[in-house]
Amino acid sequence: MTELWDGLVTALRLIVSFDPEVMAIAGRSLAISATSSTIAALICLPLATVIHFNKFRGKRTLINVIQTMFSLPTVAVGLFAFVLFSSAGPLGGLGILFTPVAIVVGQALLISPIMLGLTISALSGVDKTIADTAVSLGASRFQMAFVTIREARFAVLAALIMGFGRAISEVGLSMMVGGNIAGYTRTITTAIALETSKGDLELALALGIILIVIALIINIVLNRIQQR
Residue ranges binding other proteins (CB under 8 A): 39, 43, 47, 50-51, 53-59, 61-62, 86-89, 91-101, 104-105, 108-109, 179-182, 184-185, 194, 196-199
Q: Please name the amino acid found at residue 45.
A: L
Nearer to other proteins, 178 or 208 (CB): 178
Residue 106 sits at the vertex; the CA angle it makes with 44 and 80, to the nearest 5 degrees, is: 115
Alpha helix segments (H runs only) across the chain: 2-16, 20-53, 59-68, 74-85, 100-124, 128-136, 141-151, 153-169, 172-173, 188-197, 201-227
**Shortest Cβ 71–other proteins spacing (Å):** 19
Q: Closest separation between CB of residue 94 and other proteins, Å?
A: 4
**In the complex, minimum distance from the CB of residue 11 to other proteins, in angstroms, rounded to a whole number:** 20
3-state secondary structure 1-35: CHHHHHHHHHHHHHHHCCCHHHHHHHHHHHHHHHH
By beta-carbon proximity to other proteins, the closer residue of 13 and 59 is 59
Q: Which CB, 155 or 194, lies closer to other proteins?
A: 194
For residue 41, the minimal CB distance to other proteins (Å) is: 12
